[in-house]
């Protein structure tokens, strides 16, 4: 099967899924703490602001048990503030790698966030979130508040925008090797991807990274195709890590927002 045939078959398969309602089911988080890497955290919510106290872990189950036994040895988590119960306060978030957990910790941990960022940020303070505007064949990411307008979705602090912008440019370069019409535009703190209706599934695969925090098997297969078609391995690896880190931060942000609601 050549690259074009694969992409055509993926289009037909995903269109069928959308028409028949057989899209991927939502996976609820298990109550059993896994043994892999991730974040242990304490969400402090005080009205208009909140702070997520985070701890990077190589083994969530082991570290969770240790911290619960000796919470006083982990003052940065503030589990004993106001005489609270550590076992009720300490929560967890699983990642695929420690690097992803460290990225989430760096972007979200120990920082004070307003519940409504748009009410307190302005042109002189560009804010911390990414924002998305989208349609069936296009999505645009904005990295600063000065781009924001009505109808955008706030994605949270997925990546440092100063680091993200060159990654967006790099992503545009590797995607130019795809055998399908895809228009990618990058500017300072702005990234836009557009395609045809025939290949709208491709746009959706990338959109899901930033809206749902999911990097699919289809996207992984696409990166394999890009490597076969001549994209540099170093650029593919850099883009892949960037997408995975952004997805991990988005999924964690969604978990926090659910707990705040």
Handedness of CA 216, 107, 191, 19 (dihedral sign): positive
Q: Is the pLDDT of residue 136 over 80?
A: yes
pTM (2 decimals)?
Answer: 0.85
> Of 59, 90, 114, which closes a domain?
114
In a domain, 8, yes or no: no
> Of 91, 114, 137, which closes a domain?
114
- Which distant-in-sequence residues (6+ apart) come within 8 Å of 78 by Cβ? 42, 44, 53
> Same domain, yes or no, for 94 and 165?
no
Place of tokens 């349609």: 135
pLDDT in tens, 42-75: 999 887 889 999 999 999 999 999 999 999 999 9
Residue 48, domain extent:
38-114
> Same domain, yes or no, for 98 and 182?
no
Q: Is the pLDDT of residue 150 over 80?
A: no
> Same domain, yes or no, for 227 and 149?
yes
- Three-state secondary-structure class, residue 209: helix
pLDDT in tens, 15-30: 444 444 444 433 434 4
In a domain, 80, yes or no: yes
The region that residue 45 occupies, defined by phi over 0 for left and psi between -120 and 50 for alpha, beta otherwise, is beta
Q: In the β-sheet with 190-195, what is the strand arrangement from edge to edge?
A: 153-156, 130-134, 138-142, 190-195, 182-187
- Higher pLDDT among residues 156 and 147, named by residue: 156
In a domain, 76, yes or no: yes
Q: Is the pLDDT of residue 117 over 80?
A: no
> Same domain, yes or no, for 61 and 131?
no
Q: Is the pLDDT of residue 31 over 80?
A: no
> Same domain, yes or no, for 137 and 234?
yes
- The total number of structural domains that make up the chain: 2
> Same domain, yes or no, for 103 and 176?
no
**Mean of all residue pLDDT scores within the chain:** 85
Q: Exposed (0-12), middle (13-18) or buried (19+): which is 250, by Cβ within 10 Å?
A: buried
Residue 148 has what pLDDT? 62
Q: Residue 235 has which token pair?
A: 């650029």
Q: Is the pLDDT of residue 14 over 60?
A: no
- 96-114 average pLDDT score: 95
Residue 120: pLDDT band by 50, 70, 90 thresholds?
Answer: low
- Which distant-in-sequence residues (6+ apart) come within 8 Å of 131 by Cβ? 141, 142, 145, 147, 148, 152, 153, 154, 155
> Of 114, 132, 166, which closes a domain?
114
């Amino acid at each position: 099967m050549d690259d074009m045939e694969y992409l055509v078959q993926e289009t037909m398969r995903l269109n069928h899924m959308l028409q028949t309602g057989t899209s991927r089911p939502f996976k609820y988080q298990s109550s059993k703490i896994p043994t892999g890497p991730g974040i242990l955290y304490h969400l402090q919510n005080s009205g208009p602001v909140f702070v997520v106290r985070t701890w990077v872990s190589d083994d969530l189950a082991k570290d969770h048990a240790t911290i619960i036994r000796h919470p006083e040895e982990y003052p940065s988590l503030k589990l004993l503030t106001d005489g609270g119960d550590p076992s009720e306060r300490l929560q967890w978030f699983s990642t695929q790698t420690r690097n992803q957990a460290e990225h989430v910790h760096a972007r979200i941990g120990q920082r004070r966030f307003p519940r409504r960022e748009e009410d307190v940020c302005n042109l002189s303070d560009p804010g911390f979130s990414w924002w998305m505007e989208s349609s069936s064949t296009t999505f645009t990411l904005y990295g600063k508040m000065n781009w924001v307008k009505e109808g955008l979705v706030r994605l949270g602090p997925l990546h440092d925008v100063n680091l993200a912008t060159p990654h967006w440019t790099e992503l545009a370069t590797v995607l130019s090797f795809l055998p399908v019409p895809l228009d990618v535009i990058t500017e300072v703190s702005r990234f836009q991807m557009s395609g045809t209706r025939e290949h709208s599934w491709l746009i959706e695969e990338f959109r899901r990274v930033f809206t749902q925090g999911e990097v699919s098997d289809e996207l992984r297969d696409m990166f394999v195709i890009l490597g076969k078609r001549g994209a540099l391995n170093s650029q593919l690896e850099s883009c892949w890590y960037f997408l995975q880190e952004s997805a991990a931060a988005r999924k964690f942000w969604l978990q926090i927002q659910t707990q705040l609601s």
